[in-house]
Structure 1
């Protein structure tokens, strides 16, 4: 038995926080991926639609910055979403070099289905938590030292 960084002694090696986070993270990721797939989306496409759903429309450059993805990656995501009529890109009338991305009506309907699917996954994952515990969990996870620039996220 060894002490972890929190100073507690762990009885089981696989109960270490890193293993627990990895296992639960993998399960949560798989469930979210399945939820998006049921809506005809990849997780990256789903995240893009969620962002557009909150903002209404954005510049392509601004989206790349918020999503923290390379503009060439975002271009591929948007191409796929545009091919399926979920988003549309148009030139900004104030700056013809800039593209504005917006949800289409079909994209809004798909986003609604995806939001419902995500909510169902989250409700199942966190069914045994109180609202206060969920707030604490969100706060604690926000302090875990990771970033979207980590190699696993790029």
Structure 2
């Protein structure tokens, strides 16, 4: 058996390595989020609301989701008392979305769970390494709209 056959790691192709680590990361993050009672989309929505109320349309754009998908997310969050939608007094056609006190508490619990996962995952990296990784990941073109696959 060769060393490549014995290795539990994927081949050294960057895309496969990224997918491999992404899958492991996603599993760990989902587990941490579920312990805090949220899905990844719910958590990301609350994170965007943390900075203050935002228009529903602008929130959909920030989250890069279809407005109809956002309605489902907000219905869930409102049902749990984590967010509220209110009509904009200046424009009654527009809804503003805000995090509630319970939403802030859930987000704090979520952030603590995610911090724990990230500390364990990136323990072998210095702060400079982590910053460099963020910079490299930001430079990767992962826009699905630009991806063309030949048959």
The alignment's TM-score, normalised by the length of structure 2, stands at: 0.87
2:32 to 31, 35, 38: 35
Residue aligning to 1:76: 72
Select 1:20's aligned residue among 17, 20, 30: 17
> What pairs with 1:1-150 in structure 2 (closer than 5 Å)?
14-53=11-50, 55-147=51-143, 149=145
Corresponding residue pairs, total: 139
Taking the aligned partners of 1:31 and 1:150, their CA distance within structure 2 comes to: 29
Residues 68-127 of structure 1 show CA distances to partners (whole Å, capped at 9, x for unaligned) of: 100000000000000000001110111111101111110010010011111111111100
Change (3 A) 1:23 1:79: same
Shift of residue 142, structure 1, vs aligned partner: 0.8
**What is the CA distance between 1:41 and its match in structure 2?**
0.8
Q: Is the 8 A contact 1:57 1:102 kept in 2?
A: yes
| Gaps in structure 1 of 5+ consecutive residues | 1-11
Q: CA deviation at 1:143?
A: 1.0
After TM superposition, the runs of 4+ consecutive aligned structure 1 residues lying more than 6 A away are none
CA distance in 1, matches of 2:129, 2:10: 25
Question: Residue 148 of structure 1: CA displacement?
Answer: 6.2
Indicate how the Cα distance of structure 1 residues 76 and 85 shifts in structure 2: closer, same or farther if over 3 A, else same: same
Instruction: Please report the TM-score for the alignment, with normalisation by the length of structure 1.
Output: 0.85
Q: Secondary structure at the match of 1:122?
A: helix
